[in-house]
């Protein structure tokens, strides 16, 4: 999941420019199982939400610096699948 989000935020068009450069907002929707402060990927690995937020930070996603990023997470907060 982390790799997929990272790949998406760094995606470029055929000219090598970010596909996100003309977008006013970035929306990420994640639906899965989770635990306190984590979401579980389809590979059953736990990913900390802070790691996802870090991928969307201005440092790691500079083309969206100063633009809103909306993250919708629908995941249980318990450890049972």
Catalytic residues: 33, 76
- Give SS3 for 49: helix
Tokens linked to 75: 């995941």
User: Quick check: helix, strand or coil at residue 62?
Assistant: helix
CB 2 within 8 A of CB 47: yes
Evaluate whether 67 touches 26 at the Cβ level (below 8 Å). yes
């Amino acid at each position: 999941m982390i790799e997929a989000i990272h790949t998406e935020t760094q995606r470029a068009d055929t000219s090598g420019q970010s596909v996100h450069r003309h977008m006013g907002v970035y929306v990420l929707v994640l639906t899965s199982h989770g635990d306190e402060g984590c979401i579980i990927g389809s590979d059953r690995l736990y990913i900390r939400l802070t790691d996802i937020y870090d991928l969307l930070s201005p440092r790691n996603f500079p083309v969206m610096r100063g633009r809103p990023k909306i993250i919708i997470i629908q995941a249980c907060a318990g450890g049972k699948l």
